Amino acid sequence: MKINNQERFARLPDAFLFDTDNTLYPYDPAHAAAQKAVRDKVVNTFSIMPDDFDQAFREARGQVKTRLKHTASSHSRLLYLQRMLEIMGLGSQVLLALDFEQTYWRTFLSNAVLFDGVKDLLDDIRLLGIPTAIVTDLTAQIQFRKIVYFGLDNYFDFIVTSEEAGYDKPHEAPFQIALEKMRPKGDCIWMIGDNPVSDIRGAREKINAVTLQKTHAGVELGTDANAPDASFSEFAALRKLIAKLGFQR
């Protein structure tokens, strides 16, 4: 673990906030497997070339994100696939869009694996009696499914999705709603996430959180305004820090 601002780690926090995607588990391998499964299914269903799928999907995703901007529905796989079918000249094809979406998420979950030490860390925090919450982008249903799939539904006290908040991070709404739910006894809040803008800069600027960035392959360490107070690659290192601070109190 690399600590950039030692003074911010003088004691344990009054509450923990956690991002989900690419923080508790590596996102890219699960997404790659899921996207391939959908591509293969679409290619076989319509006898098209993989490049035709890629082009139509890329265009559909871009249109949805441009239209919906920083909202939970801008991440909707179902909307991407519906618009993709329309771009391919097939109309909305509701049943197929639903089927392709289910293929994506079924494959995604079967290829998603928690990082080592996540549950051990959450056990440590629970024993210390410190409240926890997930603050995550995307729609509530799929994020709830992920938490249940990972067996984490009894590890967190609260969850706030951008669908509930009305905005993606780094908007202040998701962070503020989490604090309203948790009602921590003090104002020392730790935010643990992977994204240097949404998680790190957002939490520091919106709620003055102590920020810890989870790094691994594909994650760019935040610098300058996006620099975290600490960074770590293994959850075991974070457990050691918490144990040290817990011993001191």
The predicted pLDDT at position 242 comes to: 96
Phi, psi for residue 27 in degrees, rounded to 5: -75, -45
The predicted pLDDT at position 227 comes to: 98
Cα→Cα distances 178→41, 144, 193, 235, Å: 39, 16, 15, 23
Which regions of the chain are under pLDDT 70?
248-249
The predicted pLDDT at position 70 comes to: 83
The predicted pLDDT at position 170 comes to: 96
Q: How does pLDDT run across 3-60, given as a tens digit for each residue?
A: 999 999 999 999 999 999 999 999 999 999 999 999 999 999 999 999 999 999 999 9
Q: Which amino acid is at 144?
A: F
**Homologous superfamily of the 2-26+114-248 domain (CATH):** HAD superfamily/HAD-like (3.40.50.1000)
Would you list the domain boundaries of the chain? 2-26+114-248, 29-110
